[in-house]
Amino acid sequence: MNANGKPMDIEALIESIRLSQEATRLAGPYPCARANCEGQAVMPRTLCLECVAREERAAEAGRQRDAIVSIPQTLRWARFGSPDLEKLCGAESLSKARKAAEEIFTGASSVVTITGSAGAGKSSLAAAIMSAMVCRGWYSSRFLNAYKIGRAYRNAKQGEPPQILTDAESARLLVIDDMGSELVGRDVVRELVHIRHAEGDPTIVTTWMTQSQIADEANGYGDGVARRLFDRAIHIQVGQ
Ligand SMILES: [Zn+2]
């Protein structure tokens, strides 16, 4: 209500808020709300611009850290620029992985399948792609071992999806590492591949299994998964 007892219209209300904020601002500057900071803020009980920028940088570093710590410690060294990575998986695989990273980033491709025998460098290559994405701001990316996905599912309470699966579904980029290593929960891994494919969410799968092994229903995945991972995906074969 205004002074005449009539309801205030919305424009008048917004204008009065603007005027009162202006008045507060004009009365400044105010001391920065952070203890021991000599800076000046434009509004009372707020931070100075330097402190706001510092808080934003800290929050960004935190989100980046959450993504990177999901990569197992033994794989965190893997970067595109690392000579050791080229030595491990070969120049050709590395250049394919760089191209895959570019296509994921631009949205041209959403599934990358990295196959090869144990120790060939599949997981390191996937870690390098993911690190590159995190560096470009994809902080909600997650690196999950298939075995851990299966185990989390087995240990979850009835009717409650484990946190690891919630993260896996919503990750900007999801790496499912070592598919085929999980003793239980292959149906969960299969479902994750389907869900992410349906949504067009970028997914990298590393596996020692061949396309025909994955297509074989007896191994717990089936033809649908095999087609998503091979026919409509970037395939990188590491080693022999
Ligand atoms: Zn300050």
> What are the pLDDT digits (tens) for 26-69?
677 899 999 999 999 988 899 999 999 999 999 988 889 989 99
> Is residue 215 over pLDDT 90?
yes
Distance from the CA of 52 to the center of ligand 1, in angstroms? 7
Distance from the CA of 38 to the center of ligand 1, in angstroms? 6
pLDDT-derived band at 11 (thresholds 50, 70, 90) equals confident
For 72, residues 6+ apart whose C-beta sits below 8 A from its C-beta are: 123, 143, 145
Amino acid 119: pLDDT: 86
Count of C-beta atoms within a 10 Å radius of residue 202: 26
> Is residue 2 over pLDDT 70?
no
Which tokens hold the place of 209? Answer: 């299994």
Q: What's the rounded Cα separation, in Å, for the pair 2 and 160?
A: 53
Distance from the CA of 46 to the center of ligand 1, in angstroms? 9
Amino acid 74: pLDDT: 95
Q: Please tell me the pTM assigned to this model.
A: 0.80
Q: b/e for 131-165, b at 16 or more Cβ within 10 A?
A: bbbbeeebbebbbbbbbbbbbbbeebeeeeebebb
Distance from the CA of 144 to the center of ligand 1, in angstroms? 39
Q: pLDDT averaged over the chain?
A: 89
Amino acid 154: pLDDT: 79
- CATH superfamily, region 72-237: P-loop containing nucleotide triphosphate hydrolases (3.40.50.300)
Which residue matches tokens 């389907």? 194
Q: What's the rounded Cα separation, in Å, for the pair 141 and 131?
A: 9
Q: Domain coordinates of the chain in residue numbers?
A: 28-69, 72-237
Q: What's the rounded Cα separation, in Å, for the pair 101 and 55?
A: 30
pLDDT digits (tens, 9 = 90+) for 103-158: 999 999 999 999 998 889 999 999 999 999 999 999 999 999 999 888 888 787 77
Distance from the CA of 43 to the center of ligand 1, in angstroms? 12
Amino acid 8: pLDDT: 66
Sign, CA torsion 60/168/213/111? negative
Question: Which helix or strand (DSSP H or E) is residue 87 part of?
Answer: helix 83-89
